[in-house]
Amino acid sequence: MHILPTGTRAFLARLFAVVLVAAVAGCASHPGPIDAARRGPYYKPLNYVRDKSLSPSLRRVLVLPVCGGQVADPDSAAALDDIVRAALQKQSRFEVVSMNREDCQRRFGAPEFSSASELPHNFLENLSNAYAVDAVLFVDITVYQPYGQIAIGFRAKLATIKDVRLIWSFDDTFSSNDPSVVNGVRHYYLQDRSGQPPVDLTTAALQSPRRFAAYAADAMLSTLPPR
């Protein structure tokens, strides 16, 4: 076995150290994909109107079944019901009450209602009497592309029952074609990875319609008026 002279070994050791430092510096100056999810830019919905703050009298909100209309089939729309409710509960702005599709069908003859459609007579009053709520949240799907480049659009309205007034309305689309949306999706799921191995698994959410919708619902409902 050939043994290198001491001087040569020392030179090679210094050279390796220099190369290692340069490699680390290169990684720092050229961040990997996971860094974009940590530093942004993140998508910020802008197409919404809201009151400056929520009234102290608004304590209970009823979430209606998500309306797929002609955009999403009934099963896809129903799969979003729990996602929207969970995202609303996460905001901790008020007590959340939900209405299932069976009860909506039994009471009003349809499993869902759009915020843009004509409502049954005394619709809000009946909901108030049945659920003891102060406001009702309507959510419509306006864009639904669950495969390939995932996209979902939400139109939503929060209406008070007592004076029948809109206190928040939203209309926007989230698409994985938008790099800032991609950053937002991955950042949303990175927040739950503290203490876990440094393996970037967040891109999986960009192939999951359900996980993508959870991010979109959270981003939408974060624009609600503050308490």
Residue 105, domain extent: 49-176+209-221
In a domain, 138, yes or no: yes
- Tokens 């799921």 label which residue? 189
Give the rounded distance of the alpha carbon of 81 from its chain centre. 13
- For the stretch 92-114, pLDDT in tens is 999 999 999 999 999 999 999 99
Neighbours of 111 (CB within 10 A): 18
Question: Are 152 and 176 within 8 A, CB to CB?
Answer: no
Q: Where are the beta strands (DSSP E) in the chain?
A: 48-50, 60-63, 95-98, 135-145, 151-160, 166-175
Q: Does residue 5 sit within a domain? A: no
What residues pair up with 157 in beta bridges, in sequence order?
138, 169
Considering its fold, how many domains does the chain have in total? 1
**Is 63 part of a structural domain of the chain?**
yes
Answer whether residue 1 is part of any domain: no
151 vs 173: CA distance, rounded Å = 7
Write the DSSP string, 113-152. Answer: --TTSPPPTTHHHHHHHHH--SEEEEEEEEEEE-SSS-EE
Tell me how far CA of residue 27 lies from CA of 30, 31, 39, in angstroms. 5, 6, 15
Cα–chain-centroid distance for residue 17? 45
| Residue 4, domain member (yes or no) | no
Residue 86, both tokens:
């969970």
Domain contains 200:
no
Domain annotation covers residue 122: yes
Provide the CATH number for the domain around residue 169: 3.40.50.10610
**What tens digit of pLDDT does each residue of 66-95 get?**
999 999 999 999 999 999 999 999 999 999
> Please, are residues 54 and 225 in contact by the beta-carbon 8 Å criterion?
yes
Render pLDDT for 185-224 as a digit per residue (tens, 0 to 9). Answer: 999 998 865 555 555 668 889 999 999 999 999 999 999 9
Domain assignment present for 53? yes
Name the nearest CA neighbour of 171 among 50, 77, 41, 58: 50
pLDDT digits (tens, 9 = 90+) for 125-174: 999 999 999 999 999 999 999 999 999 999 999 999 999 999 999 999 99
